[in-house]
Amino acid sequence: MGCVLGREVSSGIVSESRKNKNGSFESNREVDNVSVPRTDASVVEFENEGTQEEEKADGKRKQRVEGRKPKPNPRLSNIPKHLRGEQVAAGWPSWLSDACGEALNGWIPRRADTFEKIDKIGSGTYSNVYKAKDMMTDNIVALKKVRFDSLEPGSVKFMAREILVLRRLDHPNVIKLEGLVTSRMSCSLYLVFQYMEHDLAGLAASPIVKFTEPQIADFGLATFFDPNRKHPMTSRVVTLWYRAPELLLGATEYGVGVDLWSVGCILGELLAGKPIMPGRTEVEQLHKIYKLCGSPSDEYWKKSKLPNATLFKPREPYKRCIRETFKDFPPSSLPLYLQLIQRTV
């Protein structure tokens, strides 16, 4: 689950990269004004380029149909060999060009000595985050050092996915990836982001802070989703407190509903000033959901084929009590919150 960051209205610390006349970021050090394609959807389309030709042979007519030729898969980074060579010549490691060459277009790698680390501000399973100063622009930025093994294809692919997603997204409420710090011989990688003064925990703990530009960050577990081409996915995603009940029950086929559930949990946390369902284990998390949203009916449990359905079924049914629990929420916010959170598996 991506985290939510907020920009304080009166803060002078939060800064953005300067833009030049053609709209590109100076800190990106763009080359030849090459731009990366942006997309608002992740639907992969296939064109039927098949053609039919009739041929006569031995007095019989035969049909020949060319096979379907798919467009490049947005999950992968397919670039021509000559562009890969140009990227390596520009200083990019070959393993990074192979993994996300498309996302490198228009950039050259930044050097580590062009940034000054100020403080470590966060850490996770796959990364550490530092507050730093960009010595070339004097801007305050966030440096995310990603943990991965450059010799392990699966690890590199996992790391590259976040870069590809961020480079394709173009929305004012999604944090901007401003550059990458690495070198041709390096096996380490830093992602350069604009710096935000507060995270979700800070905003929830400081109700007096006013912010008008919330932004979504941390796309480490993000992936491309095509509603027309579903395939099994892992259920081990999203921070436990924001994980949808179907994921806790082991679902491997799901859609955007799991993200809407997480948004509801975050909205409730901002309104309440604290996490609304802070479970310590998956079992406890599910029971907190049942107590607030109500447990599924007996009919649901009989028909459910989710792996953990029998394991996590409550001994006694729970009634829904969302309205009573959050009766003090602002009237304008409660309907939206209910729409996001008021559902059964």
Angular region, 334: left φ>0, alpha ψ -120 to 50, beta rest: alpha
d(CA 216, CA 213): 10
165 in Cβ contact with 219 (< 8 Å)? yes
Are the C-beta atoms of residues 183 and 91 closer than 8 Å to each other? yes
Contact 52, 63 (CB under 8 A): yes
One-character DSSP codes across 240-289: GGG--HHHHTT-SS--THHHHHHHHHHHHHHHHTS-S---SSHHHHHHHH
Supply 30's token pair.
């763009």
Helix/strand/coil for 334: helix
Non-local CB neighbours of 331 within 8 Å, separated by 6+ positions: none
Task: Say if residue 144 carries a ligand binding annotation.
Answer: yes
Strand ranges for the chain from DSSP E: 3-6, 46-47, 52-57, 60-65, 69-70, 115-123, 127-134, 140-146, 177-181, 190-194, 198-199, 215-217
> What is residue 85's three-state secondary structure?
helix
Residue 181 has phi, psi (to 5 degrees) of -110, 115
Phi, then psi, of 214 in degrees rounded to 5: -65, 145
* Residues flagged as binding site for ATP: 144
* Residues flagged as binding site: 144
